Every structure is written in C-alpha cells, then in structure tokens.
Structure 1
Amino acid sequence: MGEITNFFEEAWRMMTESFALKALLAVVAEVGIYVLGLKHIQVLGIFIMLVFLDLLTKWSAIGYQMLIDMGAKPENISGYAKYIAIPAAWGKGLISSKHMRRPFITKVLTYCIATAGAWCFDFMAGNYAFAVNLVWLYLASVEFLSILENMRDGGNSTIAGLLDIVHSKIDMILKK
C-alpha cells in the first residue's frame, strides 16, 4: 500500500509543481494552435492521446497478468483492480521506463516523419489531403487496434469479440 501512496504523491507533486505557469503556457499554446489552424499539430495532439491510452491499457494488462500470476482468478479481478495494480507492477519491475519512453518517442517520431513525408507527397501532387489523411488513418487505426488488444489482454472479454470481428473484416478485405 505504501508503494501506491508514494506513487500518487510523487505524481501529484510533479503535476502541481509550477502548475499555474504550466497551465497558462498550455492555454496559450492551445489557443495559438487553433487560431493559426495548424491542423497537423492538432492531430498530433490527438495521436499523442491515443499513444498515452495505448500505454495505459498496456500497463493495465501487465497489472492484470501480475494479479493472475499472484493467484487471483480472472473472474474476480475488477476493471478497477487492474489499474490499481499498475504501481505495484512498477514496484516489481514488470513495468519500467522502457515501456513508456521508447515506444512513446518512437511512435510520435514515426507520426511526425510519416506526416511530413505524406505532406511532401501531397504538395508535389497538388492534392493537399490524400496522403496525409491516409497516413493519419493508418497510424490512428494501428493505435486503436493496439488499445483494443491491450484491453483484451487485460481480461476484457467484450473487446475480444470486437477484435474477432475487426480481424475477420480485415481478412475479408485483404483476400479480395
């Protein structure tokens, strides 16, 4: 229990340190982005949220597996318990910074490079929406599927059925 308390205390300290300045800069940046109409930056923000959700669901799946390995029965593990187990999984070394920094940075860099390349393609082709939208659709779909797979691995049986439907639809499209 002490690990959980320390985890939340440290998270709270980091979030509230210079909070007023951080909040002010975030509001100024957000207003600037929307006033200037920087759609690529707006979508980057949404993509970063998808990557964060992907990491959070991955951590909950690791917490779920840790609870099972400790002897808990899957039907007795609540959705809440998986998320509460995350700090304990960090404490046991099941989740480390490599589960956060490397995939996050790699995914965001992939997004930026792919979007820049697609923008160049669209610029050369004189069509300012095709390749960029295609790249965004693909990257967002991959993140969405990863989130669903993590939820399935975290014991969500409803999502497992949805994933079966998605995979069968993808297989039908690829076999055409």
Structure 2
Amino acid sequence: MQEILTFIGDAWRTLSESFAIKAILAVIAEVAIYILGLKHIQVLGIFIMLVFIDLITRWSAISYKMLIDMGANSENISGWDKYVAIPVAWGKGLISSKHMRKPFVTKVLTYCLATCAAWCFDYMAGQYAFAVNLVWLYLGSVEFLSILENMRDGGNTTIAGLLDVVHSKVDMILKK
C-alpha cells in the first residue's frame, strides 16, 4: 500500500511542478494549432476525446453490471452511482489497464494510420479531403455508436431508444 501512495505522490509532484508554465504552454500550443489551421491535429484531439468518453462510459457499464451482480435493483441505481462504483470495480479487478491502455493506443494508431493513408489517396487522386473526411466520419461514427452502446449497457434506457433509431437509419442507408 505504501508503494502505491509513494507512486501517487511522485506522480502528483511531477504533474504539479511548474504547473503554471505547463498550463500556459499548453494553451499557447492549442491556440497555435487552431491559428495555423492544422485540421488533422484538431480532429485527432477531438477523436481522442471521443475515445476517452468511450472508455469512461465502458467503465460505468462495467460498474453498473457489478452493482447489479451484487444485488442492487436497477431502478435504484442512479447515473452517479455507476461512476462512483468505478474505483470499486477497479479494486475487484473487473476493470484493468487492458480496458484503457490497449484500446486507446490501438484506436489512436488506427486513426493516425487511416488518416495518413486517406491523405495519400486524396493527394494522388487530386481530391481535397474526400477520403480523409470519409475516414474521419467512419471512425467518429464507430466511437459514437460505442459510446451509445456503453450507455445502454450501463442501464440508460433512453439511449437504448436512440441507439435503435441510429441502427435503423444505418440499415436503411446500407439497403439502398
């Protein structure tokens, strides 16, 4: 236990050392990216946010299932309860680093490689961002659907209805 506390303390010190300077540099870098119009990096940042939301909703779905398995009534579990139970699910080993590190790295690498390949295709075809936009639309849609599915699995019945509508629209488009 002492090792964990030491690790957390060291990590906190590393993050908090020169925090003001790090925060100012981060804001300057973010503004520079938007001023320069580096759209690929902007979209990468948004995609990373989608992946984080996907992971958090996945963790809440796992903790919701844990609460149900422990005998809780699904009608009595609030949205907040699922998120508060995430550390307990970590403690029980239901959530591990494989739920964070591996999918995150895989998704970001997939995004980067697919975007690079699409950019090369657009460059060769003389098109402006046709394939890139297609890749972004697909990868963003997959993350969006995954978030909705995680929310459904986490007991959100309203999202289940929205997910059914999204699936029916996708099916209609694919049948054309």
| TM-score in same-fold range (> 0.5) | yes
Query: Which residue does 2:35 correspond to in 1?
Result: 35
Query: Which residue does 1:13 correspond to in 2?
Result: 12
Report the Cα distance in structure 1 between the residues aligned to 2:35 and 2:68, rounded to whole angstroms: 49
Q: What is the deviation of 1:168?
A: 1.3
Question: Is 1:166 aligned to residue 170 of structure 2?
Answer: no
String of CA shifts for 1:67-102, please: whole Å, max 9, x gaps.
001110100000000000001111111100110000
For the residue of structure 1 that corresponds to 2:67, the secondary structure is helix
Question: Is 1:58 aligned to residue 58 of structure 2?
Answer: yes
Report the Cα distance in structure 2 between the residues aligned to 1:14 and 1:61, rounded to whole angstroms: 32
Q: Which 5+ residue runs of structure 1 have no aligned equivalent?
A: 1-5
**What is the RMSD of the two structures over their aligned residues, measured on CA atoms?**
1.8
String of CA shifts for 1:94-117, please: whole Å, max 9, x gaps.
100110000000000000000000
| Paired letter, 2:102 | R
String of CA shifts for 1:1-50, please: whole Å, max 9, x gaps.
xxxxx8xx87x937952322331221121122112210000000000000
Residues 171 and 60 (structure 1), Cα distance of their counterparts in 2 relative to 1, 3 Å cut? same
Question: Is 1:113 aligned to residue 113 of structure 2?
Answer: yes
TM-score (norm 2): 0.90
Q: Which 5+ residue runs of structure 2 have no aligned equivalent?
A: none
Query: Which residue does 2:88 correspond to in 1?
Result: 88
Report the Cα distance in structure 2 between the residues aligned to 1:40 and 1:51, rounded to whole angstroms: 16
Report the Cα distance in structure 1 between the residues aligned to 2:13 and 2:49, rounded to whole angstroms: 19
Deviates more, 1:19-28 or 1:164-173: 19-28
Report the Cα distance in structure 2 between the residues aligned to 1:15 and 1:23, rounded to whole angstroms: 13
The runs of at least 4 aligned residues of structure 1 exceeding 4 Å deviation read none
TM-score (norm 1): 0.90
Q: What is the deviation of 1:134?
A: 0.6
Matches within 5 A, 1:59-74: 59-74=59-74
